Amino acid sequence: MKRYSPNITRIDAYLSGQETHPFFKPLKAYQNHEAVYYAEDEKINFKAYIAVHSTKRGPSLGGARFRSNYKVDSFEPLEDALRLSQAMTTKNTLAGLDLGGGKAVIVGTEGQEKPTKAQLKAFGVFVDSLKGAYVTAEDMNMTVKDLIRVSKYTKYVAGISLKKMQKRHGQKVSRVVPAPKPNPAPYTALGTLMGIQAACEIVFKNPSLKDKVVAIKGAAGSVGKRITRLLFNEGAKLIISDMDDHPAKQLTLIDLKNRYNARIVSSKDILKQSADIYAPCATGGDITSASLKTMKAKIIAGAANNVLAEPSVELEALERGIVYIPDFIINAGGVISVGYQYLWATKPHAYDPPTDPEIEDKIRDIKSVILDLHADTKSANIPLGLAALEKAKTILQTEIPAAH
pLDDT digits (tens, 9 = 90+) for 321-354: 999 999 999 999 999 999 999 999 999 999 999 9
Q: Find the helix or strand (DSSP H, E) in which 36 lies.
A: strand 35-41
* Mean pLDDT computed over 363-385: 91
pLDDT at 73: 86
Query: Quick one: pLDDT at residue 67?
Result: 94
pLDDT at res. 249: 86
Instruction: Look at residue 135 and tell me whether its pLDDT is greater than 80.
Output: yes
State which fold the 185-331+375-388 domain adopts.
Rossmann fold (3.40.50)
111, 35 Cβ separation under 8 angstroms: no
347 catalytic, yes or no?
A: no
The DSSP code sequence of 57-125 is SSSEEEEEEEES-SPTT-SHHHHHHHHHHHHHHHHHHHTT-S-EEEEEEEEPPTT--S--HHHHHHHHH
Task: Give the right CATH number for 7-157 from 3.30.450.40, 3.40.50.1970, 3.40.640.10, 3.40.50.10860.
Answer: 3.40.50.10860
| Mean pLDDT estimate for the chain | 94
Whether the pLDDT of residue 404 is over 60: the answer is no
Q: Where are the domains of the chain?
A: 7-157, 185-331+375-388
d(CA 33, CA 347): 26
Using CA atoms, how far apart are residues 69 and 77, in angstroms rounded to an integer? 10
Whether residue 250 has pLDDT greater than 80: yes
Residue 248 reports pLDDT greater than 90: no
- pLDDT confidence of residue 96: 93
Per-residue pLDDT tens over the stretch 293-322: 999 999 999 999 889 998 899 999 999 999
d(CA 321, CA 385): 15
What is the rounded CA–CA span in Å between residue 90 and residue 110? 32
Q: Which of 56, 103, 212, 362 is catalytic?
A: 103
Quickly count: other Cβ atoms within 10 Å of residue 163's Cβ.
15
Q: Do 7-157 and 185-331+375-388 have matching folds?
A: yes
| pLDDT at site 307 | 93
pLDDT-based confidence at 1, cuts 50/70/90? low
Give the whole-angstrom CA distance, residue 153 versus residue 132.
13
